[in-house]
Amino acid sequence: MLMREKKVKMLAETRGDKIFDIFINVIMGFILLIYIYPLIFIISASVSDPNTVLRGEMWLFPKGFTLMGYKHILQYKEIWTGYLNTIKIVLLGVPIAMSLTISAGYVLSRKEFKLRNLYMGIFVFTMFFNGGLIPTYLVIKQLNMLDTIWALILPNAITMYYVIIVRTYYNTNIPEELHEAGVIDGCSDIRFLTSVALPLAKPITAVMALFYMVDRWNMYFRPLIYLSDRKLYPLQLILREIVASSNMTPEMLEGFEPSEYAIMVQISNLMKYGVLIVASLPVLLIYPFVQKYFVQGIMIGALKG
């Protein structure tokens, strides 16, 4: 077969194709650039003298190295409460979301579950139509969940898209023979889930956990509308304030002498870069290791579901 492949490869290389290949590689190089460059820029900017950045002198590597930005970020308390709150949201919210999603996905994948289509219909309908912003807000209010962490993790606990992915996975990866064998041995439905199906579904469980973690970590709008107590603000909310602000908040001025106020504006720019890095750091660090799981997850769900 190798000879034939070699022959085919030789036939394949027409002149047009060679140009095509070069073209593709150049484009891919350009794409690499537009993704990597902003990251490098921001990292460098976060440790550079703000004036060099403003004047455009700094464009790749840091100029006028300074750690002032990060120093002030470390001192800025609200960032750290924000971090803490976000971590709380993830630790609390992800297990809840996971248990609901997996149980639903599992049950929906079982052929013995006669009302499958009915439940699917009820669930999927919500993907396209729901009460709307105000009515949902009113429900949350009536449940006394306003200004609590629950408003952030309960209403959106289940993403139907993920349930479908889980269901598809169980459908295609748990052979029916396994279940039949279990039934003969007197295995109950729940027992089957915990002892057989779940262990077999470790990959998809990991993927779901990652997806939900990212969703919870990046949450912005929900906290915006449901929280008014600043102590509960998650990271993204604080981040937004810093990045979008042209004014200083009192908290930012902590630890500064009045004579330093002029420098403050510069520092605030410096902080903007640093804070972007600080907020995205966990995600960016973990990402290279787990990205292949994300890819698997989508492929499973989207192709078959």
Partner 1 sequence: MNVRKTEQKTSAYSKVLSKGKKSYIGEVGRNIIEHWQLYLLITPTLIFFIVFNYLPMYGVQLAFKEFIHIKGIMGSPWVGLRNFERFFSGYNAWALIKNTLGISFYQILAGFPIPIIFALMLNEVLNKHYKKLVQLVSYAPHFISIVVVVGMLDIFFSQSNGFVNIILTKVFGLEKGIPFLVSNSWFKTMYVFSGVWQNAGYSAIIYIAALSGVDPQLVDSAIVDGASKIRRIWHIQIPTILPTAVILLILESGNIMKVGFEKVLLMQNPLNMQSSDIISTYVYRMGLLGSDFSFATAVDLFNSVVSCILLVFVNNFAKRVSSNSLW
299 lies in the binding site for partner 1 (CB under 8 A): yes
Among 63-71, 87-95, 254-262, 293-301, which window interacts with partner 1 (CB under 8 A)? 293-301
293 touching partner 1, by CB under 8 A:
no
- CA 148 to CA 234: how far, in whole Å? 12
| 175 sits near partner 1 (criterion: CB under 8 A) | no
Judge contact between 222 and 151, C-beta under 8 A: yes
DSSP one-letter code for 64? S
**For residues 132 and 149, what is the distance between their CA atoms, to the nearest angstrom?**
21
| Total Cβ atoms within 10 A of residue 218 | 14
Report the C-alpha gap between 305 and 302 in whole angstroms: 5
Enter the DSSP assignment of 76.
-
| Only segment of 69-77, 87-95, 105-113, 201-209 that touches partner 1 (CB under 8 A) | 105-113
Binding to partner 1 in span 135-174, by CB under 8 A: 135-139, 143, 154-158, 163
Residue 56 near partner 1 by CB under 8 A: yes
Binding mask 193-222 for partner 1 (x = CB under 8 A): x--------------------x--xx-xx-
Convert 156-166 to b/e letters by CB count within 10 Å (16 or more is b): eebbbebbbbb
Pick 228 or 254: Cβ nearer partner 1: 228
Contact 274, 70 (CB under 8 A): yes
CB atoms within 10 A of CB 33: 10
- Interface pick for partner 1 out of 8, 247, 250, 258 (rule CB under 8 A): 8
Residue 132 or 199: which CB sits closer to partner 1?
A: 132
65 binds partner 1 (CB under 8 A): no
Site string for partner 1, 237-276 (x = CB under 8 A): --xx--xx---------------------------xx--x
